[in-house]
Amino acid sequence: MAWTKYQLFLAGLMLVTGSINTLSAKWADNFVAQGCGGSKEHSFQHPFLQAVGMFLGEFSCLAAFYLLRCRAARYSDASMDPQQPFNPLLFLAPALCDMTGTSIMYVALNMTSASSFQMLRGAVIIFTGLFSVAFLGRRLVLSQWLGILATIAGLVVVGLADLLSKHDDQHKLSEVITGDLLIIMAQIIVSIQMVLEEKFVYKHNVHPLRAVGTEGE
């Protein structure tokens, strides 16, 4: 099925904002501050604080959802369909996966470069495809399998580049390898989150902003 212009716009917007997200987080990690009493400088290494900021952003989607619903009620806007009642605990498992995966990724970002971090996040394609076949009964077409194989080849190239390239004092080889493995681990958790959402959440008529906000809550 061909993509619409709106879908292409959303995909491009996600690519741009995702890159800005990674670069801004790495930029924050590079900050240093003088210690108390003239002690040595300390770098900004607070991955869990960054993860909390991410979830605050997700939680703010609830405010946007209720503002849109109030506007729809005021102007009789049919674009906001009546919401089907659902149990908020439905989002508990996906939210735990989201929180765990995001925290691990921010820890890994302290250990490796932003470019490797962003490219290794593509591993989510591999695990989501495999898990959808195993647990959702999906059948992937040839083009999707070829895409997974191409992604694997790209990840191998990124891993070899990190392994063979020279490393500075900020990122030692052991830290880079650990960071890369943590990113792959986080993508496994994120793919589990996606499979859980499709299996248990997709069948409910939940507005996207409300879904994201409930997970952030």
Residue 146 is predicted with a pLDDT of 96
Residue 56's contacts (CB-CB under 8 Å, 6 or more residues apart) are 216
- H or E stretch at 114: helix 114-120
- The pLDDT mean for the chain works out to 86
- pLDDT value at 40 more than 90: no
Least confident of 16-20, 29-33, 79-83: 79-83
pLDDT category, 9, cuts 50, 70, 90?
very high
State the pLDDT at residue 172.
79
Domain ranges of the chain: 47-72+87-215
User: Please, are residues 213 and 59 in contact by the beta-carbon 8 Å criterion?
Assistant: yes
Share of the chain above pLDDT 70, in %: 91
Eight-class DSSP state of 42: E
101 against 46, higher pLDDT: 101
Phi, psi of 204 (to 5 degrees): -95, 145
Residue 78 has pLDDT above 70, yes or no: no
Better pLDDT: 111 or 84: 111
**What distances in angstroms separate CA 121 from CA 17, 30, 88, one per listed residue?**
14, 21, 28
- Residue 2 — very low, low, confident or very high, per pLDDT cuts 50/70/90? low
> Is the model more confident about 12 or about 206?
12
Q: What is the pLDDT of residues 105-150, one digit of tens each?
A: 999 998 888 889 999 999 999 999 999 999 998 999 999 999 999 9
22 pLDDT more than 60? yes
pLDDT at site 86? 76
Lowest mean pLDDT segment, chosen from 38-47, 143-152, 207-216 = 38-47
Q: What is the pLDDT of residue 192?
A: 95
pLDDT band at 191 (very low <50, low <70, confident <90, very high): very high
The band of 168, judged by pLDDT with boundaries at 50, 70 and 90, is low
The answer to whether the beta carbons of residues 205 and 80 sit under 8 Å apart is no
Per-residue pLDDT at 76 exceeds 70: no
